[in-house]
Chains A and B, each alone.
Chain A
Amino acid sequence: MLYREAGQFKASYAADQAIFPITQDRVAVIAVLLIAYLGVPFIQGDYWFEAILLPLLIFALAAIGLNILTGYCGQISLGTGGFLAVGAYSTYKLMTAFPDLNILLIFILAGLITAGVGILFGLPSLRIKGFYLAVATLAAQFFLVWLFNKVPWFYNYHPSGNIEAPPREAFGFLITGAEATPQVRYVVILIFVTLLTLAAKNLVRGRIGRSWMAIRDMDIAAEIIGIRPLQTKLLAFAISSFYIGVAGAMMFSMWLGSVETEAFQLFVSFDVLFMIIIGGLGSLLGSFLGAGFILLLPIVLTNLFVGGLGFTANFAKHVEFMLFGGLIIFFLIVEPHGLARLWQITKEKLRLWPFPH
C-alpha cells in the first residue's frame, strides 16, 4: 500500500486531532502491537528476551522519560542513572517491607517516589539553565548513587551490598524472582510501556505538552502567555522522573533481578541521553528508535567483527565508541531531531512519490 495523505480529507477537527491522523500510520502501529503482543511472547529461547527485548522496552521507557524533560521541556538532565536507581531501590524497599503489597502497585509507587525526588532536584531549574542545570543534575546523579551505596538501610544491610528481587506474583503469574519466565516478564513490561507511551503521547499533544514546548522554545513568550515557568518545569521533572522510576523498578526487578549501584553510574545517564539525541529530541517514536539503536549496535558490531571477521572484542568496542561519537556529533549538528526526523522526511518524500513537485 502506498503511503499517502492525499485523498484522506479530514472532515472534522476531531479526525485531524486523532492520535494517528494518517491511516497508514495507524495500520503500522496496530501491526507492531499485534506482533508484540501475539507473536513475540511465543519466541522460545531466553537470549532474545534477556539481551534484546527486555532492555529495549525498559530503556525506551527511560528514554521517553528523559525526552519529556529534555526533548519537550528543554531541561537537560544527566541524572537519569540516579533516578533509575531511585526507582530500583524504592521497589526493593517496598517489596521487602510490604511482602503482600501488589507488585504492580509497587511499580507505580516507585515511580511516584522517583517523581518526588525529581521535583526536588528540579527546583534549581527555575534559576539556572543549560550547562549549569546539567551540572546540577550531575550532582543529583552522584549524590543518589553515593546515597544508595553508603547507607546500608537501602540494601537491607546485606553484606554484598546487592539488592535482589524476591519472587512476586501478579494475576497468578510469577513475574519477579529467578523462576519468573522471560516471556511473562516481557508481557508485563510491554503492557506498562504501551500504556505509559499512550499517556505520554496524549500529554505531549495537548495543553501540558504545549506548555512544555513553549518553555523550551521561548520561555519569555511562554511566561507572557500565562505559563508559569516553575510549575511547568517541575511538572516535567515529576513526570519524567516517574517514567524513569518505573523503568528503574522494572530494570531491577524484572530484567536484572539483582543489582548494585554500579548499574546506575553516570554512563547510564549518558546512554539514555544518547538514545534521545540519536532517536530524536521531542519524539516518542525516537525514544524507541534511539533505545533500539544504542542497544543493538554493540550486539551487531560484536557479531560482525568478532564473530564474522575474527577481530578481538576490544576492537569491536573501539569501533562502537567511534561510531557513537561520530553519530552524536552528526545528529547534534545536522539533524537534532534524530532518526525520528529522518523517518519523517522519508515519509514526506513517500507522500509525494513519484511526483516530487
Chain B
Amino acid sequence: MTMAEAGGNGADVLLDVANISLSFGGVKAIRGVSFDVQKGEIRAIIGPNGAGKTSMLNCINGFYHPQEGTITYKGRTRKQMRPHEAAAQGIARTFQNVALFKGMSTLDNLMTGRLLKMKGNFFLEALHLGPAKKQELAHREFVEGVIDFLEIQTIRKTPVGRLPYGLQKRVELGRALAAEPELLLLDEPMAGMNVEEKEDMSRFIIDVNEEFGTTIALIEHDMGVVMDISDRVVVLDHGEKIADGTPDEVGKNQDVIDAYLGVSHD
C-alpha cells in the first residue's frame, strides 16, 4: 500500500486533523485525535457506537467547533469554519439518519445540492429570463448526469419522502455529488441496507472515487465493506484514536480486536 507509506508526507494531504478535542458539557466525545486524509483515497473511520465518529465529521465540516486542535484543509488551517464555508470549499456530506428535503422530488433535492454552483440574480430569476434560464438548464444537465450515474432515473420526479430507505440513501449521495465535492464525507452510507443494496452502494462509492477522483472519508460498521473498499482506516474508541493504517494492519491490531469484542454493534 503506497498510500499508507505516503502518510505524513505533506504533499498529497487534502485534510489534516491535528489533536482535535471536543466535549459537550462533561461528555468528552473526542480526545486529542489526529489523522489525515490524502487526495484521492477512500479513508474509513470505524469504531464502536459512541466512539465519536459522527462528531468527527461534524468537526470537519464546521458543524461542531472543537475546543482544541486544528483542521487543515487544502493547506489552510482553520480553528473554526461555518458549514456553508466548508461547502463553498468543496466539502459535501451525507448523514447517518437520512436528512433529505422530504417535500421535494429527487430531482429538486439534487438541484438543491448544486445550489452553490449557481449564481444568483434575483430579478432575472423572477422573470426567468436569459442567463437565469440558461443556468437552470446547464445545471439540470449536470444533475441528470448524476441521476444516470446512480441509476435513479425512474424516481426523478418522486417526492423523496415516499421512497424506500435504501433509495433515500442513494438520493442523499446524489445530492452530495451534485455539488461536485473534492472531499465527500459519508456517515454510514450502508446502514440499514440489505446485502444487494450494500453491494450497489459500495460500487457507487468506488466509482465516484475512481471516475471523478473524489476523496472520500466514510464511517461504516460493516467490516467486510470497510476491508473491501477503503485504502486506509482510522479506528476510534471512546473518543480516542486506537489504530490507523491499511485495512490489513488494522484488522490484526490487538487494541482494535479488544475494542470490538464485547461491544455490541450491528
Contacts and interface: CB of A to CB of B under 8 A. Distances in A.
Interface residues of A, number: 27
Interface in A161-216: 199, 202-203, 206-208, 210-211, 213-214, 216
A225 B115 contact: yes
A211 B120 CA distance: 12
B88 to A, nearest CB: 6
A220 interface: yes
B115 A203 contact: no
A279 interface: no
A2 interface: no
Nearest to B129: A202
A202 B92 CA distance: 28
B200 interface: no
Contact of B115 (A14, A210, A217, A220): A210
Nearest to B108: A210
Contacts of A202: 125-128
A225 B112 contact: yes
Given A202-B127, A210-B108, A227-B84, A221 B103 contact: no
Given A17-B136, A206-B132, A226-B87, A221 B101 contact: yes
A146 to B, nearest CB: 33
Interface in B171-222: 175, 179
B102 interface: yes
A14 B112 contact: no
B125 A213 contact: no
A218 B99 contact: yes
Given A19-B128, A203-B126, A225 B137 contact: no
A208 B108 CA distance: 12
Contacts, number: 94
Contacts of B63: 220, 223-224
A282 interface: yes
A157 B122 CA distance: 39
Nearest to B132: A206
A202 B87 CA distance: 26
B61 A224 contact: yes
Given A13-B144, A225-B115, A208 B120 contact: yes
A221 B104 contact: no
A223 B95 contact: no
B113 interface: yes
Given A214-B101, A282-B103, A207 B137 contact: no
A13 B137 CA distance: 7
A228 interface: yes
Contacts of A208: 120, 122, 125
A13 B132 contact: no
A217 B102 contact: yes
A331 to B, nearest CB: 16
Interface string B27-71: 000000000000000000000000000000000010100000000
Contacts of A19: 128
A225 B132 contact: no
Contacts of B116: 225-226
B120 to A, nearest CB: 6
Given A207-B125, A228-B84, 20 more contacts: A202-B127, A203-B125, A206-B125, A206-B132, A206-B136, A208-B125, A213-B104, A213-B108, A214-B101, A214-B104, A216-B101, A218-B102, A220-B63, A221-B95, A222-B112, A223-B63, A223-B83, A224-B86, A224-B87, A225-B92
Interface of B: 61, 63, 83-84, 86-88, 92-93, 95, 99-104, 108, 111-113, 115-116, 118, 120, 122, 125-128, 132-133, 136-137, 140-141, 144, 175, 179
Q: Which 10 A-B pairs have the closest CB atoms?
A: A226-B87, A217-B101, A226-B116, A221-B99, A202-B128, A199-B126, A210-B112, A223-B83, A13-B140, A226-B84
